[in-house]
Structures are given as C-alpha cells and as structure tokens.
Structure 1
Amino acid sequence: MTTNITEPPAQAVAKDPHWAAKMVRLRARRLPERTISFMDDPQLKTAVTDAALGLAKARTAAASESIEQGVEEAGREEWIQARPDVLAAGSALDQANAALEAAMLRLTFRALPRPVWEQLVREHPPTEAQADVGHEYNVESFPAALISACSVEGMSVAEAQELLDTWGEADAKALLMAAMVVNQTMRADLGKG
C-alpha cells in the first residue's frame, strides 16, 4: 500500500506555519502496543509479597534502632540502608522479583492499521444469527484471526485458536481482550486544545 504525500492545504499552513513538521510527527506515530502477562506459579507471587513484607519489617526495626542509638536524622536513611538485616531483606526481595520476572509469560499485541482491521472483519463476516444480535464479525473465527494478526511474536491463527480452546474462560478472554483493546484504545484528547 502506498501513501501519497501531498502538500498541506494552504489554509492549514496559514493557521499553523509548522504544519509540515506536525505532519512528519503524525506520520511517525507508532501503532499502539499492549502486553499481557500470565503467571502460572502463585507461590512466586507470594514469595515477592513475603519478601516485601520482610524488607518493611527490617526497615522498621532498623529505624527504631537508629533512634535508640541516637543516629542523626540527616544520616538516618543511609544508616538504615546499610544495616545487614535490611541489606539481606532487600536482596531477598530482589531475588524473589527476579524469579517472578523470569517465570512470567508475556505476549505483546500491536494495533492493526485501519484498512487491515477492516479487511480482517470482512474476512470473518458474522453468521445470520450473529448479525441478528449485532455482531460485526464471526465470533467463532474472528478472535483467533485477530490475535494472530496483532501478535508481535508471530502467533499463528492455529496457535491462537488452540489457546482459546484449551485455556480457562478468564485467560482466554484476557488474551482476546488484549488484542481487541489495543485496536480500540484512543490516544487522542478530544478536549480543548
């Protein structure tokens, strides 16, 4: 698809002498992306929560100790940060966060250009029954096609359909909604400028 780049309208230039620069910026805008994360190990989440609580307790104990020992307020935070139990608790939190991060499954979706979206909808027309209840597209075939088309990682339609068919309802909906939302999120402010 080629885009004809034309000169800006004279009225626009008269109103905004920086129109050409504005158009360069508008053309350079990237399509929005959305990442969804899945975590299958609730123990890793609990470990992060426990480690954060451990750090908070260690900091509270160190703060109380600093007051008892007469540490000047100006240097108190550095004194607290240097305490062995605070250092150990901070390290434990870092390790728990790293383990959680490593186990996280992330999928990223990028919005489709409007003509591509419209073509995808045309390729998956609703059945008569679906159209009767107001659907714009076939609710059986469109979700996997949309997920595949928006997948930054290159998920195929078959892979998307497999996940939709085998995952639980909540996760399958989250997967579809990530692909839908990235295409329907407005990034414009329609208020006064």
Structure 2
Amino acid sequence: MSGRATEAAAPPAEAVARDPHWAAKMARLRARSLPERPAVFTDDPSLKTAVADAALRLARARTAAAAEALTQEVPEESREEWVQGRPEVLAADAALAAADAALEAGTIRLTFRALPRPVWANLLAKHPPTEEEADQGHEYNVATFPAALIAASSVDGMSEDEAQELLDTWSDPDAKALFTAAILVNQTLRVDLGKG
C-alpha cells in the first residue's frame, strides 16, 4: 500500500476556491464522533421516589430559609450564602446527595454508539427480513437482528449471546427499551438541518 493512500486526499481546487477554510472544515467533519445513547435501568422505584422527595424537602428548606432571611433583615448581597448555610438547608442538601448516591448505586447504565453506515448496512444484510416481515415493512429479521444490533452497538462490550439472553428473559417493556436504545442511536438524525 502506498503512503499516498493513507494520507488525507487534498481538497478539490474548486472547493478551496469557494471556501479557503475547506481543509479545516473537512478535518472537523472527519473528527466528528459517532453519537451515543444511554439506556438506564433501575429496578427499585423507591430510589427515584426518595430523590424526588429529598429534592422537594430541599426546595422547602431553601424557601423557608429565604423567608427567614427577610425577617432577619439579612443584607441582600449575603442572603444566598446565609440561606445555603442554614442547618436545615445543609441537612436537606445532604439528604438529597445521599438519595442521589443510592439511586446511582441502584441504577444500571448501558451505552450504545451508532455504527458507521457500512457496518450498519452489513448488519442489515446479515439479518434480512423474512418474506412476511418484508411484506409488513420490516428491513430486518425481527428474531435475529435485535441481539446482533445491541451487541454491535454496545460500548460496554455486551456479546450477542448476552443480548439475546436479556431479550429472552426480561419483561417485554425492558427488552423493548434495550433494543430501542440501540436502534435509536443508529436511526436518529443528529444534523441540525434548520440552520443555514
């Protein structure tokens, strides 16, 4: 392989004439990362409720402290610091931090990255729809494609067998959420076409 094949192609003269910064623009385009999308699973709904309750208690403590600051005639320039230093606000803030930490510990996060277009096309080709699925408008085999896509898009290194295991053993909504995260990152348009 020649050294020239590995170098970036020189920008077309016509493009440089129109835009002298074309090479820099093309470098930025080449450097764009593929989009990623998280999938978050929390089995204990009480963890989410605890965070919401703690946030509400903190808001109430701040409101009460702000009202007290007015009655205590705390100067406006130091009022926010005074409110933040009140024991009830500090306690509520600590409770929210603890609830957030518990939610984080009880949450499983998976990350999916979009596939380059040729890889996506190859994956679709390996999992063509059945005749009946094609008649229904599917572009892939609904039995084999989901696990393959999840594995191919997984940033965490999930294998196809592991993906299939989760799809087969999880509830229908959870399995759909897993597949949806993988397919959306590959099919959601990221370019802002509205600005010109």
- Is the aligned partner of 1:172 residue 2:175? yes
- Is the aligned partner of 1:5 residue 2:4? no
Q: Determine the structure 1 residue equivalent to 2:147.
A: 144
The TM-score normalised by the length of structure 2 is: 0.92
Q: 2:110 aligns with which of 93, 96, 107?
A: 107
CA RMSD of aligned residues (A): 1.5
Q: 2:107 & 2:6 partners in 1: Cα distance?
A: 40
Q: Deviations over 1:130-172 (max 9, x none)?
A: 1121211101100000000000011111111111111112111
Q: 2:76 & 2:24 partners in 1: Cα distance?
A: 52
The TM-score normalised by the length of structure 1 is: 0.94
Code of the aligned partner of 1:111: A
Q: Determine the structure 2 residue equivalent to 1:71.
A: 74
Runs of 4+ aligned structure 1 residues displaced above 3 Å come to 2-5
Q: Determine the structure 2 residue equivalent to 1:119.
A: 122
Q: 1:192 & 1:157 partners in 2: Cα distance?
A: 39
Code of the aligned partner of 1:143: P
- Structure 2: any 5+ residue segments left out of the alignment? none
Q: 1:21 & 1:178 partners in 2: Cα distance?
A: 33
Q: 2:88 & 2:132 partners in 1: Cα distance?
A: 65
Q: 1:62 & 1:25 partners in 2: Cα distance?
A: 49
Q: 2:40 & 2:90 partners in 1: Cα distance?
A: 30
Q: Deviations over 1:15-73 (max 9, x none)?
A: 01111111111111111111111111111111111111111221122122222222222
Q: Determine the structure 1 residue equivalent to 2:20.
A: 17
Distance 1:64 1:40, change over 3 A: same
- Is the aligned partner of 1:57 residue 2:60? yes
Return 116-125 or 183-192, whichever deviates more: 183-192
Q: 2:137 & 2:115 partners in 1: Cα distance?
A: 22
Percent identical among aligned pairs is 69
How many angstroms does 1:75 deviate by? 1.8
Q: Determine the structure 2 residue equivalent to 1:189.
A: 192
Code of the aligned partner of 1:9: P
Q: Determine the structure 1 residue equivalent to 2:41.
A: 38
Q: 2:6 & 2:192 partners in 1: Cα distance?
A: 25
Distance 1:192 1:60, change over 3 A: closer
